[in-house]
Amino acid sequence: MGECDTITALAGGVGAAKLIDGLSSVVPAEKLTVIVNTGDDCEFHGLRVSPDLDIVTYTLAGLVDEEKGWGIKNDTFNCLQMLEVYGHETWFKLGDRDLATHIHRTMMLRSGYKLSEVTRDICARLGVRQRIIPMTDEYFATKIRTDKGTMHFQEYLVKRGSLDVVREIVYEGAESAKPAPGVIESIMDAETVILCPSNPLVSIGTILAIRGVREALRESNAVKVAVSPIVGGAAVKGPADKMMSQLGIEPSALSVAKLYSDFLDAFVMDEVDAPLVQEVKGLGIRVAVTNTLMRTREDRIRLAKFVLEVASKCK
Ligand code: FO1
């Protein structure tokens, strides 16, 4: 792999994990740090579930269910079926092997370990050598205010199928949650910071809502490159486009670039969005256009290489 910059990636769930998987095959493990959204974290059946941390960790460990992009491949759901017999809500599909992760995490948290320590332990046990850091060790919950009431993001997304009209995103805990150890340092010390193609409001937006993160991105000498999760006005996955338009933000790659324009050096967007190039450049951001869809492992690696090339041209 030769000489390589130190890289810090800001990540949400499935889209981010694919790019990080691509990066992992071109960047030595010890050079890659991933800061992960924990706003989606939720308690189910008394257990702490950290979906985005698990998606990234399972992907790098080669355990992820590739079809769904989350959970463990070939998992079974016996425990969940029995919970249903006992009358519990089972809309969040936790597999038997996945449950072991949540039991282990919850036990460690109850023994007094921080989420960042638990994450390090899980990574070590699953053979993941990249550094994965939760954005915060403290309470933070993404809540969605809709006409049907305010609900946790997972309830909005999974239980109710993101059908409610979003009126406001509430970052509960943002005033008090401190960045986890290594978050600010890894942004300040990196040569390249990559904002993965994740929902700019509820995945990257939550990380940016943590005290000091946005300031660190502005101050860091790293080259900062984002990959658009919006292609041709639609989200590649999830409700980002719907959420943006319901909140009065046009769902476009340009809008994503605007959300990051105070610190971004370069923006990678899909070739279908080539007509927006001049407008993004008008924000004072370099633009590079490529096929950003990651259908195969080769696509992931190709996009990762492309992003690194764009970053190296910004130096
Ligand atoms: N997403 C779903 O759409 N349905 C599920 O039942 C579901 C279960 C689940 C279990 C563990 C896990 O780590 C992730 C899971 N996800 C599920 C994904 C998750 O809700 C979201 O994709 C992320 O929170 C958004 O990044």
- Ligand 1 atom at shortest distance from the alpha carbon of 94: 10
Q: How confident is the model at residue 264 (pLDDT cuts 50, 70, 90)?
A: very high
Q: What is the sign, positive or negative, of the torsion defined by CA atoms of 251, 42, 148, 161?
A: positive
Confidence of residue 225 (pLDDT cuts 50, 70, 90): very high
Tokens 């282990």 correspond to 104
The continuous run of DSSP H or E covering 268 comes out as strand 266-270
pTM over 0.75: yes
Q: How far apart are alpha carbons 162 and 146 in whole angstroms?
A: 10
Evaluate: CB of 15 within 6 angstroms of ligand 1.
no
Ligand 1 atom with least separation from CA of 54:
13
Q: What is the mean pLDDT of residues 251-273?
A: 98
Q: What tokens appear for 102 in the block?
A: 């949540």
Average pLDDT, rounded, for the chain: 97
The structure tokens listed for 231 are: 């292609």
CA dihedral sign, ordered 73, 204, 164, 233: negative
Instruction: Tell me if 98 CB under 6 Å of ligand 1.
Output: yes
The alpha carbon torsion through 145, 151, 157, 161 (nearest 10 deg) reads: -90
Where is 35: in which H helix or E strand? strand 32-36
Question: Which phi and psi angles does 74 have, rounded to 5°?
Answer: 55, 25
Q: Which residues pair with 133 in a beta bridge?
A: 35
Task: Say if CB 59 and CB 18 are below 8 A apart.
Answer: yes
- Residue whose CA is at the smallest distance from ligand 1 atom 4: 158
**Which residue type, as a one-letter code, is found at position 27?**
V
pLDDT in tens, 39-91: 999 999 999 999 999 999 999 999 999 999 999 999 999 999 999 999 999 99
**Whether residue 227 has pLDDT greater than 70:** yes
Of 37, 50, 92, which is best to mutate to test ligand 1, by the most ligand atoms within 8 angstroms of its C-beta?
92
DSSP structure string for 83-142:
HHHTT----S---HHHHHHHHHHHHHHHTT--HHHHHHHHHHHHT--SEEEESBSS--EE
Q: What pLDDT is stored for residue 315 in this prediction? A: 86
Report DSSP letters for 7-22, one per residue: EEEEE-SHHHHHHHHH
Residue of the nearest CA to atom 19 in ligand 1?
A: 51
pLDDT at residue 4, as a whole number: 82
Is the confidence at residue 1, as pLDDT, over 60?
Answer: no
Nearest atom, ligand 1, residue 50 CA: 13
- CA 309 to ligand 1 center in whole angstroms: 32
Quick one: average pLDDT of 179-189? 98
Residue nearest to atom 14 of ligand 1 (CA): 51
Give residue-wise pLDDT tens across range 266-301.
999 999 999 999 999 999 999 999 999 999 999 999
CA geometry: angle at 202 spanning 157 and 19, to 5°? 95
- Across the range 240-250, mean pLDDT stands at 98
Binding site membership of 55 for ligand 1 (Cβ less than 6 Å): yes
Tokens, residue 163:
């059908």
In short, whether 154's Cβ falls inside 6 Å of ligand 1 is yes
Angle of the 297-313 helix axis to the 14-24 helix axis, nearest 10: 80
* Neighbouring-strand partners of residue 290: 270
Q: What is the mean pLDDT of residues 177-183?
A: 98
Structural domains of the chain, ranges and CATH numbers in brackets? 7-138+174-313 (3.40.50.10680)
- Span from the CA of 218 to the centroid of ligand 1 (angstroms): 31
Q: Is the CB of 40 under 6 A from ligand 1?
A: yes
